[in-house]
Amino acid sequence: MTLDLALRIRSVLALAPESPALEYKQRWYSWAEMSSLMTQANDLLTNAGLGEGAPIGILLRNRPAHVSVLLQILASRRCVVTLNPFQSAEKIAHDLEATQIGALIADEQDWQAPAIQAAAQAKGCLGLSISSGDTLTVATQPGVGIKLDPATLPDQRETAILMLSSGTTGPAKRIALPYVKFEASLSDAAHYEAGKATDGLTLKTSPAMLTTPLVHIGGMYFAVAAIVAARPIVILEKFSVLEWSQAVATYRPKMVSLPPTAIRMILDADVAKSDIDSLLAIRTGSAPLDPDMQIEFETRYDIPLLDAYGATEFAGAVAGWSLRDHKEFAQYKRGSVGRAQPGCEVRIIDLVTHEVIDNNNIGLLEVRSAQVDATRWVRTTDLAEIDEDGFIFIRGRSDSAIIRGGFKVLPRDVEHVLREHPAVKEICVVGLPDPRLGAVPVAALEVRPGVDLDEHQLIAFAREKLVAYQVPVRWMVVDTLPRTPSLKISQHEVRQLFSAPEVAAQTAV
């Protein structure tokens, strides 16, 4: 039986209203405070004629009021339209112009931007201002009352979320996540935590920790799954090693989720093992997990890193590592994203013929799952192979492959080799158009602190370790590689770096 998300949210809120629910900047908000804000937001939306199925835009920050209104939109079967606060006000305004919404919910901080205020006024949507101060508040935004006819809005009652993709390989786009698929994705978590019915549902004492952005599927799925499990949440607006380690030391959670970049930052900061020894494991994903870094982290902290594979289109993960698998196979399956989760099937098809191919061959990954579509195989753009034990190894993306004079260059393979150079801290390889060869690889990289980079030696290293057509034709050293809010390297922004004026200073091979 699929989880009834609206019923579960209401049931959790009613369990122990005065108990702590959300922690933010060392201040706990109770379930009752959350519920009060949700009721007020619901009344304001209903009075504006925005009922079930109405698309509601939320400029989502990692703050308690934002988690609360997100839950209310889902509990009332409206549609959440995610808006990214990690961009300029002008870009947010442009996004609003192209988005059909009946209301814009934003933090009081964001309403101070004239461009956002003007865009909402021009759209004629309802404006709601929320705050996570001493109390959780919601109120109509002055000058932004509803002018549009709610009947002209698209009926999105089947859609839980119009979710922004991560924007790793190109500009972010919205993907519709139906309620039935989102609930199916959450049902496994509910099953393992406390069953699917409200009978026996109890509040957990060990909190979850929200460190990834709510505006992306990883953060949103994690936050909603925690509430479904009746688990309080410690909220970090953005990942900080100091804040994170202090919160872990204070609240002693058993399990957290972090992207690989954050794990690297913990290692570099040399966080004390005693500060985080409450953790039984760390779930990771959203970007490749470097096997060498995994070994380094697990050796130092004795905490398993459980990689997972998913996508916005899947409303969560479809494959991953369990603790049991990690204990049995970790030493032999490094680099794998784990095995298909219960209820999910995976297979590999040939890039050209699209026929199913045998294990231990690279091709396109296809997924069949109840949370996606149990009646058909869904083709991804990921290149992968599956071994005889069912472990999945992601080998790159078909749409990131660089065809250089007829030769295929997979950026992930090149990056993996170049990370072995002692001066390279992080690297991103992308393709640029070339009039003679079609496309050529270029590389932007961060240098390890305290290490001098000899560019000629780096190029010699690349020529020794790679075949000729894999060697980048241009190199760029940057202080920090551009990243998405979920800490993935932004490949399209790296491409833009090579179009900037300073491109003339690059080293040509």
What are the domain boundaries of the chain?
5-183, 237-399, 402-508
Question: In this predicted structure, what is the pLDDT of residue 342?
Answer: 82
As given in the structure block, the two tokens for residue 173 are 């786009």
Exposure on the CB side of residue 402, measured as CA atoms within 13 A: 24
CATH 3.30.300.30 is right for the domain spanning 402-508: yes
By the 8 A CB rule, do 140 and 156 touch? no
**Per-residue model confidence as pLDDT tens digits over 310-329:** 877 776 788 999 999 999 99
Which DSSP symbol is given to 113?
-
Burial track 143-165 (b if 16+ CB lie within 10 A, e otherwise): ebebebebeebeebeebbbbbbb
What is residue 344's predicted lDDT score, i.e. its pLDDT?
87
Q: How far apart are CA 414 and CA 421, in angstroms?
A: 12
Best CA proximity match to 363, nearest among 371, 355, 373, 374: 355
Q: Rounded distance, CA 125 to CA 120, Å?
A: 6
Q: How far apart (Å, rounded) are the C-alpha atoms in residues 378 and 365?
A: 9
For the chain, the straight-line distance linking the first and the last C-alpha, in angstroms and rounded, comes to 59
Write out pLDDT tens, residues 434-455: 888 888 999 999 999 988 888 8
Point out the residues of the chain with pLDDT beneath 50.
190-199, 504-509
Q: Give yes or no on whether 237-399 and 402-508 have one common fold.
A: no
- pLDDT value, residue 170: 54
User: Of the candidates 228, 389, 399, 219, which has an alpha carbon nearest to the alpha carbon of residue 310?
Assistant: 219
- CA dist 342 and 460 (Å) reads 47
Which CATH class for the 237-399 domain? alpha beta
How many CA atoms, within 13 angstroms, populate the side-chain half-sphere of residue 46?
A: 10
As a CATH number, domain 5-183 is 3.40.50.980
In sign, the C-alpha dihedral spanning 369, 374, 379, 385 is: positive
What's the pLDDT score for residue 352?
A: 83
In SS3 terms, 25-90 reads as CCEEEEHHHHHHHHHHHHHHHHHCCCCCCCEEEEECCCCHHHHHHHHHHHHCCCEEEEECCCCCHH
Helix%, strand%, coil% for the chain, nearest 5: 35, 30, 40
pLDDT at position 261 is 84
- What pTM value is reported for the model? 0.78
